[in-house]
Amino acid sequence: MNVYIVVEGDKTELSVYPAWLGLLAPQLERIDDVWEVSDNNYYIFSAGGIPSIYNHVSNAVADINDINRGNHKFDYLLVCLDTEEESRQYLEDCINEKLKKDNRVLEHTKMIIFEHKVCMETWFLGNKTVFKENPQAQEYLRFINYYNVGRKDPEQMGNIDSEKFGSKAQFHHQSTCG
Amino acid sequence: MKLESLSFKNNKTGWNIKDINFDDLTLLVGASGVGKTQILHALKKLSSIARGRSYNGLEWRVSFSQDNKMYSWKGQFKTVQEADINVFEINDIEYEIINESLSEGETNIFTRDTSKLVYNNKETVKLDASKSAVELLKEESLVEPVYKAFRKLYQLNSENRGIIFNSIIRNSKKSTMCLSDIKNSEALTPILKIFFLKKNKLKEFEIIQERFKEIFPLVEKIDITLGILFNEETYPVLRMKEKGVDAWIFQNEISSGMYRSLSQIITLTLAEDGDVILIDEFENGLGVNCIDQLAELVTYPESNIQVIMTSHHPYIINTIPYSRWKIVTRKGCDVDIHTAAELNIGEHSKHDAFMQLIQTSAYKTGRL
């Protein structure tokens, strides 16, 4: 099995996904050059944020089709991105619209959209070793009073201060720093 | 001169720049700390060696062309361990050259070791062992082009904003300087060069001013005025006038981006065929309003010059064709250079070349 992974960011995802894959699919070996894919490999492409990720997913589809031509290699294209304020359906529509506009269809490979709702850091807030029930800093006490992710679903948390934190995702990211 | 390739090793520190090939435009890219700037420093040191300077433990091999002839120059200084050097005399120490040779094509011009120097198949009299034979024999017809070639290598100097006052300025203020005097004076910063262009009523002053105004349309005029020191001596000061602003903006108030842009325009406008210009961190201080036009000046220069520069800026890297990139990596003291093709970056992928580059561990981590 070979997997082509497109991630939105260039830091968190590039640390977390390889670590996860090391546990979940230890047989997969990361490759630095996608054109050297053989068996049981995965390749991670960092797309530098939204909306550029849609262009890069489209280009990845073209590359996968080229690599697969004559010698099927990639089984999955995994697209990992933050939903932020949007729905999963919206992300799917954006990807499909871009592929349609570029006249590209992913052949013989399954695309899986792996959404981080709201962002990857939101998931970390659900991890008891990341979230501290008794932070010392006043700011984080204020965050807990606003929404206690220790007891409630982090994915449902809003934004405490939309002027200070430009988006829900920024607030979720900041909340992990406590 | 056009540099073709370089290997450069410091046997004292172990730093070793392995075979790098140069194009008319070479863009050195890579993670911070991999040795991009060291490559520029190595080239400047070669230029100093050709003028007689000695360096502890340096070893080099460089190929270049000059006047349609291909040259190969290599050599090595003796390595002296730090413990053996008296720190109070460190500036006075000269290091012996233990071997050196220069050839043009297949023809040997000179060869030396610690016992003798042979020029054009004849042994010379004893000469200074710490100075390159390029300096020692610079009056000889076979060596003169090489000496001159390395004088055409220089680094863009845009950092010095202080008042500069030296004998060249003092003497030049009284006499007339022609364009080549100004171009070739190594003691002059770019800003002092436009002072003398204006003073000598040379048309290049207007060309530079127009180019600058194209990038900064709010600027109406560039001028050089004179400041007065306590002893009543005068020194040149750059100033600019902006549209709709009555007061002049003086040298110490000009933004760093404008200052650097002007320095780059001056350097590139005055560059002559055969010049080799080194630019470290091309984008430093440059905003989005000027970076593209300045990048165009180095990508498509008017003269037949060679530019070797470093950059981390996506726009610069994207603008310069990937065939001109040299991706620098380092393992310990060994600095390695890779072409985009070696990292399998190219048009076989639908991703932009820059996006392909930033996925590579060579670029991200500086290691391969």
Within 8 A of A32 by CB-CB distance, chain B residues are: 359-362
Contact B34, B366 (CB under 8 A): yes
B171 and B300 belong to one structural domain? no
* B206 shares a domain with B113: no
Do B146 and B279 share a domain, yes or no?
Answer: yes
Segments forming the whole domain that contains residue B327: 2-152+272-365
CA angle B270, B271, B275 (to 5 degrees): 155
- Mutating which of B347, B354, B359, B364 best tests the A interface, going by the most A Cβ atoms within 10 A? B359
Using CA coordinates, name the residue in chain A closest to B360. Answer: A32
> Is B135 found in the same domain as B18?
yes
B58 and B94 in one domain?
yes
Please indicate, yes or no, if residue B264 is contained in any of the structural domains.
no
Is B171 a domain residue? yes
Statement to judge: residues B8 and B35 lie in one domain:
yes
- Best mutation site among A32, A77, A105 for testing chain B: the one with the most B CBs within 10 Å? A32
**Cβ neighbours of B351 in A, within 8 Å:** 45, 56, 59-60, 63
Question: Across the interface, do A45 and B351 touch by the CB < 8 Å criterion?
Answer: yes
**pLDDT tens track for A77-94:** 999 999 998 999 999 999
Measured between CB atoms, does A77 come within 8 Å of chain B? no
pLDDT on residue A139: 87
Asked if B344 is an interface residue toward chain A (Cβ–Cβ < 8 A), one would say yes
A34-44 exposure pattern, b = at least 16 Cβ within 10 A, e = fewer? beebeeebbbb
Task: Please check whether residue B114 lies inside any domain of the structure.
Answer: yes
A106 Cα to chain B: minimum distance (Å): 14
- For residue B159, give the amino acid letter: E
- Asked if the structure places residue B266 within a domain, the reply is no
Please check whether residues B143 and B284 belong to one and the same domain.
yes
Q: How many CB pairs under 8 A join A and B?
A: 36
Q: What is the pLDDT of residue A3?
A: 98
In a domain, B89, yes or no: yes
Whether B34 and B63 map to the same domain: the answer is: yes
ipTM of the complex: 0.85
Report DSSP letters for B142-203, one per residue.
TTHHHHHHHHTEEE------S----HHHHHHTTS---HHHHHH-TT--HHHHHHHHHHTT-H
How far A178 CA sits from the closest chain B CA (Å)?
28
Q: How high is the pLDDT of residue B233? A: 74
The answer to whether position B305 is within a domain reads yes
Domain-ending residue, one of B228, B259, B290: B259
In this complex, the residue of B343, B351, B360 whose CB is nearest that of residue A59 is B351
Residue-wise pLDDT tens for chain A (178 aa)?
A: 999 999 998 889 999 999 999 999 999 999 999 999 999 999 999 998 888 999 999 999 999 999 999 889 999 999 999 999 899 999 999 999 999 999 999 999 999 999 999 999 999 998 888 777 777 788 888 999 999 998 999 999 999 998 899 899 999 988 887 6
**Which CATH number characterizes residue B299's domain?**
3.40.50
pLDDT, position B156? 86
Tell me the H-state helices in chain B.
36-49, 133-136, 144-151, 167-172, 179-184, 190-199, 203-215, 256-270, 288-299, 314-319, 353-359, 361-365
Q: Which distant-in-sequence residues (6+ apart) come within 8 Å of A165 by Cβ? A: A159, A171, A174
Per-residue pLDDT at B174: 58
- Using CB atoms, pick whichever of A35, A48, A62 lies closest to residue B350: A62
**Is residue B162 in a domain?**
no
Residue B340 to residue B158: CA distance in whole angstroms: 30
Name which of B348, B350, B358 is nearest A46 (Cβ-Cβ). Answer: B358
Contact criterion met (CB < 8 Å) for B350 and A59? yes
Query: Which residue of A6, A34, A42 is the best one to mutate when testing the B interface, meaning the one whose CB has the most B CBs within 10 A?
Result: A34
Say if B69 falls within a structural domain.
yes
Q: Which residue has the tokens 């068996």?
A: A39
Cα separations (Å) of B348 from A67, B88, B339, B344, B355? 10, 59, 16, 9, 13
Does B286 lie in the same domain as B248? no
If asked whether residues B36 and B103 sit together in one domain, one would say yes
For chain B, how many structural domains are there in total? 2
What's the pLDDT at B337? 96
Within an 8 Å CB–CB cutoff, is residue B350 touching chain A?
yes
- Per domain, the residue ranges of chain A are 3-116, 129-177
* Residue at which a domain ends, from B205, B225, B259: B259
Whether B292 and B339 share a structural domain:
yes
Give chain B positions within 8 Å (CB) of A59: 349-352, 355
Q: What are phi and psi of B47, to 5 degrees?
A: -65, -40
Is B360's Cβ below 8 Å from some Cβ in A? yes
Q: Are residues B278 and B348 in the same domain?
A: yes
**Residue A170 forms contact with B (CB below 8 Å):** no
pLDDT at B180: 87
Q: What does DSSP say about strands B334-339 and B25-29: parallel, antiparallel, or unpaired?
A: unpaired
> pTM score, two decimals?
0.88
Q: What is the CATH number of domain A3-116?
A: 3.40.50
> How near does any CA of chain B get to the CA of A144, in Å?
37
Subunit contact A33:B343, Cβ cutoff 8 A: yes
Each of the 368 residues of chain B gets a pLDDT tens digit; together they read 999 999 999 999 999 999 999 999 999 999 999 999 999 999 999 999 999 999 999 999 999 999 999 999 999 999 998 766 666 666 678 999 999 999 999 999 999 999 999 999 999 999 999 999 999 999 999 999 999 999 999 998 766 555 555 555 666 555 688 888 888 888 788 888 998 899 889 999 999 999 999 999 999 999 988 877 777 777 888 999 999 999 999 988 888 889 999 999 999 999 999 999 999 999 888 888 888 889 988 988 989 999 999 999 988 998 899 999 999 999 999 999 999 999 999 999 999 999 999 999 999 899 98
Residue A15, min C-alpha distance to chain B (Å): 13
**Which of B259, B291, B307 represents a domain boundary (last residue)?**
B259
Residues of chain B with Cβ-Cβ distance to A66 below 8 Å are 348, 350
